[in-house]
Amino acid sequence: MNINRRNFLRNAAATTFGLAAIPEILSAAMPINQKKKKGLISGLKTGDVVLFQGDSITDAGREKTKQLSNSQGSFGGGYAFLAGAHLLNEYAAKGLLFYNRGISGNKVYQLADRWQKDCFDLKPKVISILIGVNDFWHTLDGKYDGTVERYEQDFRQLLILTKKMLPEVHLIIGEPFAVLGCSAVTEKWYPAFDGYRAAALKLADEFNAVFIPYQSIFDEAQKYAPGKYWTGDGVHPTMAGSALMAEAWLKAVK
Amino acid sequence: MNINRRNFLRNAAATTFGLAAIPEILSAAMPINQKKKKGLISGLKTGDVVLFQGDSITDAGREKTKQLSNSQGSFGGGYAFLAGAHLLNEYAAKGLLFYNRGISGNKVYQLADRWQKDCFDLKPKVISILIGVNDFWHTLDGKYDGTVERYEQDFRQLLILTKKMLPEVHLIIGEPFAVLGCSAVTEKWYPAFDGYRAAALKLADEFNAVFIPYQSIFDEAQKYAPGKYWTGDGVHPTMAGSALMAEAWLKAVK
């Protein structure tokens, strides 16, 4: 998305704020993926494991001592909790096991460092990964020297290894996103940050993963309420933003 | 529900466990309330306040210092968070304010003690109250000497005062529930506990409140997965149980 597009959305948000209901957000933002892997969850069998992986957006304040399956405390209060709880209710008779192993601050190389313990050991049938905003964000204060090339390369290696170890696994890749005009996200992020989004999409195609276009979703959402309604700092979603992400995730896989 | 009914459900759970999907739980458990106050939420206006009140089931680990509206940390990880997040997404353009003021361990007289600060001061347009399990449970270890008559009387006084102070408020009353065979709930609870459920229903009728029949819902749910799948100790819902409660709550008010 270029600068003009972002400005358009901000202006649109101001003029259309007040619309009654918003079923249109996801139908506008997810035109392609709707049919991609419908039935992914309903096709799972008793005891199958679904794993959420990522950074603080996935972590969402979960406890990291017990790290139980299907547990509120171990799931935190983000999109993973909302999506997992929804499916545990809807598919109760399946006895599925949902785990959250997102860790705040993680970049893609840090997922790789803990992938044996926090992925392979759990023997997941579905892995949902949302990673990348820190791979860019942490370069801004000079404390991390990663590049978009390193992000793409590390992510690809992680996915190659994953497919090697778990040939039948279903992959879900979330688009890294940022909402301009909120406290942490400035014009300084662009166009560099857009490269990380493009890399995630490219990898989703390469590995036949379901792609959740969170950036398009948050862009559309701003037609109905301001950016801060969906994410306080432009990176971490609010209750509303988490629910929007969970709705999109569910729409892509159910 | 009598003992035979409960035994039937336990047996039914054993035999029918494994069914594919469960849209039937709420249609079976909520035959009356479906049409009662449809559109309650969609009829709200910008800035209107929706308040969740109750005990630990509503509290669900929320932080109690800031107690912000529309905040994950201030909402905990229970049915109130799931229902609130869903509506903040669906009705984004309305700019509604959701508060959770449930406090773990509360009985109905303790709601009354803090009703000015934790209800009237927030000027709610909708109040959802789930209270009663502790009014019974805490009598079992001899540390509380309340009765079902006191529960009904205190709850009625609270509702009379609420209607006096907020004549236009929409009331939602949740049925206290317990799931037999989980760690905290034994035969000793019956038939005494059933009186608290009956009192809540009676009051919902008296005050024209939406009634959420959580007991019937958890009874139906056990046809699809064991009690422990929905609530570990028979009182506090799991992720799946919280999602089921939120689904019921939303069905009743949307």
Q: Do A243 and B19 touch (CB under 8 A)?
A: no
ipTM for this prediction: 0.90
pLDDT at A34 over 90: no
Looking at beta carbons, which residues of chain A come within 8 Å of B61? Answer: 72-73
- Residue B60: the pLDDT is 98
pLDDT at A4 over 80: no
Looking at beta carbons, which residues of chain B come within 8 Å of A81? Answer: 77, 239
Q: Do B81 and A221 touch (CB under 8 A)?
A: no
Nearest CA in chain B to A44: B20
Choose among B19, B71, B229: nearest Cβ to A239.
B71
* CA separation for the pair B158, A184 (Å, rounded): 45
Q: Do A229 and B78 touch (CB under 8 A)?
A: no
- Residue A254: the pLDDT is 85
- Residue B29: the pLDDT is 85
- Which residue, among B178, B217, B201, has the nearest Cα to B26 in the 3D structure? B217
Q: What is the pTM of this model?
A: 0.91
Sheet containing B170-174, strands listed edge to edge, beginning at the edge strand earlier in sequence: B97-100, B49-54, B126-130, B170-174, B210-212
* CA separation for the pair A184, A141 (Å, rounded): 12
- Residue A130: the pLDDT is 98
* CA separation for the pair B206, B159 (Å, rounded): 10
Which class is B42-206+235-253 in CATH?
alpha beta
Q: Do B18 and A93 touch (CB under 8 A)?
A: yes
- Residue A32: the pLDDT is 60
Express as a percent the part of chain A with pLDDT over 70. Answer: 88
Q: Do A89 and B17 touch (CB under 8 A)?
A: no
**Using one digit for the tens of pLDDT, what is the confidence trace for A167-214?**
999 999 999 999 999 999 999 999 999 999 999 999 999 999 999 999
Q: Which residues pair with A126 in a beta bridge?
A: A50, A170
Q: Do A85 and B61 touch (CB under 8 A)?
A: no
> Which two tokens mark B23?
């849209």
How do the domains of chain B map onto residue ranges? Answer: 42-206+235-253
- Residue B157: the pLDDT is 98
Looking at beta carbons, which residues of chain B come within 8 Å of A221? Answer: 92
**Using one digit for the tens of pLDDT, what is the confidence trace for A109-138?**
999 999 999 999 999 999 999 999 999 999
pLDDT at A141 over 80: yes
- Residue B30: the pLDDT is 85
Mark the ranges of chain B whose per-residue pLDDT is less than 50: 1-5, 7-21, 34-35
Architecture of domain A3-15+34-253 in this structure: 3-Layer(aba) Sandwich (3.40)
* CA separation for the pair A196, A177 (Å, rounded): 9
Binding-site residues on chain A for chain B (CB distance < 8 A): 17-22, 42, 46, 60-61, 70-73, 75-78, 81-82, 84-86, 88-93, 95, 98, 221, 224-225, 229-230, 238-244, 246-247
Nearest CA in chain B to A14: B93
CB pairs under 8 A, 24+ apart, for B56-59?
Answer: B56/B102, B56/B103, B56/B104, B56/B105, B56/B106, B56/B134, B56/B235, B56/B236, B57/B102, B57/B130, B57/B133, B57/B235, B57/B236, B57/B237, B57/B245, B58/B100, B58/B102, B58/B130, B59/B100, B59/B102, B59/B103, B59/B104
Considering chain A, what is the average pLDDT of its residues?
91
- Residue A194: the pLDDT is 98
Q: Do B70 and A244 touch (CB under 8 A)?
A: no
Q: Which residues pair with B129 in a beta bridge?
A: B53, B173
Choose among A20, A72, A86: nearest Cβ to B77.
A72
* CA separation for the pair B147, B136 (Å, rounded): 7
Nearest CA in chain B to A92: B225
CA distance, residue B83 to nearest chain A CA (Å): 10
Say how many CA atoms lie within 13 Å of B137 toward its Cβ: 22
pLDDT at A108 over 60: yes
